[in-house]
């Protein structure tokens, strides 16, 4: 079964840029790309009992599908596409419904391997405002790659993974290694602390790295301890000064008091990032953390 990258699109420049990024990934990993639009269909007017004609829905669906195929044509016609032997299949689909619910349902139904979305600045279209990005981060059960506005694609040579040294993060590093192999990229394991209450810190690091080395057969994995006033400042500094091409992290959904990755940390780091952010869902039932 072909691996598939889902690319939600609202036809903005940011969305198209994310689609271009996804196409590059698909070429390297020999995956398919699905361009997906969620639209608001005419519905019964509240309190009137009047239904919109089915023809209105059909007309909207046809118009959006045509726009998706125009986008697919532009992607297929790019110089990058012509220069490579593998040309990913690009599918187009649209559905009506709430954006986040519809996207997450599509991920589950089609066993999507990766969702690639754009991150727009304030003032752009509603679909890519921070609230929707946050909702997708909270609810998707597969890896999510967020692409900053105007980000130009480059092969990732160094990927930083922010960890709080939990044993469950070893599985995430394993999944990340399967992705890094396509690019022969380094994985930099980052643990951020404020330097206080270190306690048995060195023993904790030792045990975590022991778990990584016993499960992951990938030589380009390194560890770095970063001291900062908090996690966000530490990761911001790393992204700006660490020559990192991509930042990966786990979104902890259910533990608000988590000392490292409470939901606000994931949202804040992703929202301010100037490099792509790969967000893994926390392990659980029906959760996919593997990439390709």
Q: Which of 157, 154, 173 is nearest to 165 (CA)?
A: 173
Residue with tokens 């420049």: 13
Mean pLDDT of 203-228: 89
Q: What is the pLDDT of residues 22-57, one digit of tens each?
A: 999 999 999 999 999 998 766 544 445 555 565 677
Q: Which of 290, 225, 276, 277 is nearest to 251 (CA)?
A: 277
Tokens of 19: 């689609």
Q: What share of the chain is helix, strand, coil (3-state, %, to 5)?
A: 40, 20, 40
Q: What is the pLDDT of residues 160-174, one digit of tens each?
A: 998 989 999 999 999
Residue with tokens 């597969």: 142
* Better pLDDT: 240 or 178: 178
* Better pLDDT: 128 or 32: 32
Strand residues in 107-177 grouped as ranges (E): 114-119, 144-148, 158-162
Residue 212 CA neighbour count, 13 Å, CB half: 25
Confidence at residue 202, expressed as pLDDT on a 0 to 100 scale = 80
Confidence class for position 270, pLDDT limits 50, 70, 90 = low
> Measured between alpha carbons, how far is 292 from 285 in angstroms, rounded to an integer?
19
User: Which pTM was predicted?
Assistant: 0.85
């Amino acid at each position: 079964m072909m691996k598939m990258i889902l690319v939600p699109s609202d036809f903005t420049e940011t969305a198209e840029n994310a689609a271009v990024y996804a196409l590059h990934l698909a070429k390297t990993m020999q995956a398919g790309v699905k361009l997906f639009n969620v639209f608001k269909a005419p519905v019964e007017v509240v309190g009137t009992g009047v239904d919109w004609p089915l023809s209105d829905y059909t007309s909207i669906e046809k118009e959006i599908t045509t726009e998706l195929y125009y986008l697919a044509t532009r992607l297929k016609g790019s110089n990058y596409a012509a220069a490579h032997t593998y040309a990913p299949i690009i599918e187009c689909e649209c559905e009506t419904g709430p954006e986040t619910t519809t996207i997450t349902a599509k991920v589950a139904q089609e066993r999507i391997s990766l969702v690639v979305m754009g991150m727009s600045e304030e003032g752009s279209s509603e679909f890519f405002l921070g609230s929707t990005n946050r909702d997708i981060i909270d609810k998707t059960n597969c890896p999510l790659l967020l692409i900053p506005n105007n980000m130009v694609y480059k092969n990732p040579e160094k990927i930083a993974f922010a960890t709080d040294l939990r044993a469950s993060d070893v599985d995430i590093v394993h999944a990340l290694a399967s992705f890094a192999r396509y690019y022969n990229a380094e994985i930099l394991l980052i643990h951020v602390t404020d330097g206080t209450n270190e306690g048995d810190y060195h023993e904790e690091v030792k045990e975590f790295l022991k778990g990584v080395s016993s499960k992951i057969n990938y030589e380009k994995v390194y560890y770095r301890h970063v001291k900062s006033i908090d996690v966000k400042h530490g990761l911001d500094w790393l992204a700006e000064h660490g020559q990192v091409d991509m930042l990966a992290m786990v979104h902890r959904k259910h533990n608000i008091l988590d000392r490292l990755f409470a939901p606000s940390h994931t949202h804040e780091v992703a929202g301010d990032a100037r490099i792509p952010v790969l967000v893994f869902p926390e392990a659980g039932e029906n959760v996919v953390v593997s990439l390709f």
